[in-house]
Amino acid sequence: MPVRRPTTVLVAATTTAGLLAACTSGGADPAPTPSSTPSASAAAVEPVVVTTVLDGEEVELQVGPVAVHGDVAVLRVAAPTTTPFLRMALWDVFENLASPGPSGVRLVDTEAGVVRPVARDERDRAVMSSNGTPGGPATEAADEAADGDEVVYAAFAAPDTERVDVMLPEGGWVADVPVVSAAAAGDLTVPPDELLEDGVATAPVFTLEAYTDAVGGQVRARETAEAVTVQVASDVLFAVDSDQLGPEAESALAAAAAEVAAYPGGRLTVVGHTDDVADDAYNLDLSQRRAATVAARLAQVADLSAFDVAVDAKGESQPAVPGTSADARALNRRVEIVLVPQGEAEAVEAAAGALPPTDGPVAPGPEGVTYQADDDTLAVRLPEVRREGGYLVGGFSSSRTSRARARRSTGSCRAARGTPGASSTRRCSSPRRT
């Protein structure tokens, strides 16, 4: 039986691709299709209505509003399904194995570069619709207004914007969901204490982290809220036991300088690291000399006048990865450029030139590629990539078909057709799925 797993990927829209956030689970089409169908239950505010596929079934979802109750906001998701369909489909099973609920949902603000996971109570339980939801008068009113639709809620730190994007496991990316007051939401929200009796203890907000790589992976950058760290492999910079730059160093240092030059200033530290070969004193001295060489060359290829530049060495004392294999030692031989920036970064233009060669099949995203291994076939598609704020958002799906398992699968299937014009869906009673 084929199993399809869509994933939503958020990528910094700067140089090369860096994975920032993802959600995975079952389904067939990762790209929700906006619908103009209005909400029947809201007069003051309407949710965003999208058609997507959850657990292999095409579903019309109402997403939103995000209703603000003081410092906490409650997101509503509804669909013409039967409980616990949405709880299971939007569940992060690794977070709470005992009680399904929409714990995998995230609120994403691409302008501010932050993501909000589901809020927690004092016992670190997700504040959301679940098996133990106590309910209350607002929940009863909301259920009546839903007119038979299944409705789930999840609590988050309140956004300070009028709209926010929502990332759904399986369902993909839903943009521009309205953020309103609880009073404006009316029957389209419930207070957090009707989701979990103890209410919200913590509502985290995380900064999106950006990862980029260049020069065939020899230059890797990680951007967090606190610092930007650029790792340059020593093997591309120096010959063995040398502190003199080699012929391949220029492209690597140019890529590193571009990351640094995107910022208007800050504290810049160039740190040398080595592997565990040779004694500590020798490695520390070599690391110091290599860091000084890189700092001097960076000052020649980039304007560092606005930066407070320092040189440091760690020798073999801070390996990037454990182990003494050739691959581990290669990763540990590096020079790190650590920038604590002042001010916001400008966009870094992608370097000109051809893309590096690939080892596997290549095809346009909507067409996808297929891998064949024995009796298994894996198909991967990337239907679209679009810009959301300072990021690129893409949804890709993968499906695996095993002929051996398909022959062993049993169970009856039935076709179900919804409203006129809707797509048909097919559900099997007891198939074996891989």
pLDDT tens, 6-30? 555 555 443 333 333 333 333 334 4
Q: What is the predicted pLDDT for the residue at 2?
A: 41
How many other C-beta atoms lie within 10 A of the C-beta of residue 428? 15
Enumerate the domain spans of the chain. Answer: 23-204, 217-341
Q: Residue 355 pairs with which residues in a beta bridge?
A: none
- 354 or 29: which carries more pLDDT confidence? 354
C-alpha torsion 69→73→79→85, nearest 10: -110
- Give 4's pLDDT tier (boundaries 50, 70, 90): very low
Q: Where does residue 277 fall: left (phi above 0), alpha (psi -120 to 50 degrees), or beta otherwise?
A: beta
Q: Are strands 266-273 and 307-315 parallel, antiparallel or unpaired?
A: parallel
Rounded Cα–Cα distance for residues 365 and 350 (Å): 20
Q: Mean pLDDT highest for which of 68-82, 221-235, 348-362?
A: 68-82
Rounded Cα–Cα distance for residues 368 and 323 (Å): 37
Handedness of CA 408, 414, 418, 424 (dihedral sign): positive
Q: What is the predicted pLDDT for the residue at 394?
A: 81
- Residues with Cβ within 8 Å of 17's Cβ and at least 6 positions away in sequence, in order, are 11, 212
Which residue type occupies 19? Answer: L
Tell me 72's DSSP state.
Answer: E
- Give 96's pLDDT tier (boundaries 50, 70, 90): low
Name the residue among 59, 34, 57 with its Cα closest to residue 47: 34
Q: What is the predicted pLDDT for the residue at 418?
A: 32
- Residues with Cβ within 8 Å of 275's Cβ and at least 6 positions away in sequence, in order, are 283, 316, 319, 328, 329, 330, 332, 333
- Contact of 156 with 203, CB cutoff 8 Å: yes
Q: Residue 114 pairs with which residues in a beta bridge?
A: 109, 207
- Residues with Cβ within 8 Å of 266's Cβ and at least 6 positions away in sequence, in order, are 306, 307, 308, 339, 340, 341, 342, 343
Q: What is the predicted pLDDT for the residue at 140?
A: 94
Res. 303: pLDDT tops 50? yes
CATH topology of domain 217-341: 60s Ribosomal Protein L30; Chain: A; (3.30.1330)
Name the residue among 70, 61, 114, 117 with its Cα closest to residue 94: 117
Encoding tokens for residue 305? 């006048």
- Residues with Cβ within 8 Å of 173's Cβ and at least 6 positions away in sequence, in order, are 8, 32, 165, 166, 167, 388, 393, 395
pLDDT tens, 124-170? 999 999 988 999 999 999 999 999 999 999 999 999 999 999 999 88
- Contact of 311 with 269, CB cutoff 8 Å: yes
Res. 5: pLDDT tops 50? no
Segment among 195-199, 241-245, 246-250, 375-379 with least mean pLDDT: 375-379
Segment among 127-131, 203-207, 410-414 with least mean pLDDT: 410-414
- Give 314's pLDDT tier (boundaries 50, 70, 90): very high
Its pTM stands at 0.69
Res. 421: pLDDT tops 90? no
- Contact of 134 with 121, CB cutoff 8 Å: no
